[in-house]
């Protein structure tokens, strides 16, 4: 059985500054060398906590950072924080797990799973090298993979023969 674990997206959360190992990333104990106001290790590129009109940053040390209602700083005002364009991790165990090493475009993951399980558009019907087959199938794509196929691939435990 091949087990593949991944996610479909990242978020626009970032880690700021150089926190000391072991520091609480939810605390606001680092201080900016530009305005001498503390800041949190965690911040967001967008979200509901952005200031539309401000002259001075809010000092997180004056807020209850442990409160369930505290919102970490964001740059762009939106109703909610959005997905980001970061790479996501792919972890695999079992037969053909060696095909899941590195960074991938999202469409490569289900195609590689299909190749490993011998189903879908990348089923093993050639004697070429494994990786070459998968890469050709992905780069040849003006074809469309239905969302149901992608969902099936992500949720499936592939039983190899």
Q: Mind listing the pLDDT tens digit for each residue in 10-44? A: 888 888 878 888 888 888 788 888 888 888 888 88
Residue 106 inside a domain? The answer is yes
24 marked as part of a ligand binding site: no
The domain total for the chain is 2
Do 36 and 74 lie in one domain? The reply is yes
Q: Which residue segment(s) compose the domain that 142 sits in?
A: 89-155
pLDDT, position 49: 82
How do strand 83-84 and strand 90-93 relate by DSSP bridges?
unpaired
Domain boundary residue, one of 26, 58, 86:
86
Higher pLDDT, 57 or 138: 57
94 pLDDT band, cuts 50/70/90, is very high
pLDDT, position 73: 82
pLDDT digits (tens, 9 = 90+) for 139-158: 544 444 444 444 444 434 34
Domain boundary residue, one of 36, 61, 86:
86
83 marked as part of a ligand binding site: yes
Do 30 and 63 lie in one domain? The reply is yes
Q: How many residues comprise the chain?
A: 161
Do 78 and 111 lie in one domain? The reply is no
Residue 98 inside a domain? The answer is yes
Do 94 and 113 lie in one domain? The reply is yes
Residue 139 inside a domain? The answer is yes
Phi, psi torsion values for 111, nearest 5 degrees? -65, -40
Mean pLDDT, range 59-74, rounded to an integer: 86
Query: What whole-number percentage of the chain has pLDDT above 70?
Result: 75
Domain boundary residue, one of 45, 69, 86:
86
Q: What is the DSSP letter of 13?
A: E
23 marked as part of a ligand binding site: no
**DSSP assignment string, 43-93:** EEEEETT--SS-SS---GGGS-TTSTT----EEEE-SS--EE-----EEEE
Do 76 and 26 lie in one domain? The reply is yes
Q: 139 in helix, strand or coil?
A: helix
Other beta carbons within 10 Å of 154: 15
Higher pLDDT, 64 or 150: 64
Higher pLDDT, 7 or 152: 7
What's the longest Cα–Cα distance across the chain? 66
Residue 40 inside a domain? The answer is yes
Do 62 and 99 lie in one domain? The reply is no
Query: What whole-number percentage of the chain has pLDDT above 90?
Result: 3
**Predicted TM-score (pTM) of this structure:** 0.52
């Amino acid at each position: 059985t091949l087990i593949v674990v991944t996610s479909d997206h990242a978020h626009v959360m970032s880690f700021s500054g150089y926190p000391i190992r072991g520091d609480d990333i939810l605390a606001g104990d680092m201080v900016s060398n530009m305005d001498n106001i503390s800041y949190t290790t965690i911040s967001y590129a967008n979200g509901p906590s952005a200031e539309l009109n401000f002259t001075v940053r809010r000092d997180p040390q004056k807020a209850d950072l442990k409160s369930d209602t505290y919102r970490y700083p964001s740059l762009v005002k939106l109703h909610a924080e959005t997905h980001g364009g970061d790479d996501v991790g792919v972890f695999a165990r079992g037969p053909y797990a060696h095909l899941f090493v590195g960074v991938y475009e999202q469409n490569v993951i289900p195609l590689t799973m299909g190749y490993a399980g011998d189903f879908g558009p990348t089923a093993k019907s050639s004697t070429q090298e494994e990786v070459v087959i998968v890469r050709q199938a992905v780069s040849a794509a003006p074809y469309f993979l239905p969302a149901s196929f992608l969902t099936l691939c992500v949720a499936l435990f592939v039983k190899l023969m």
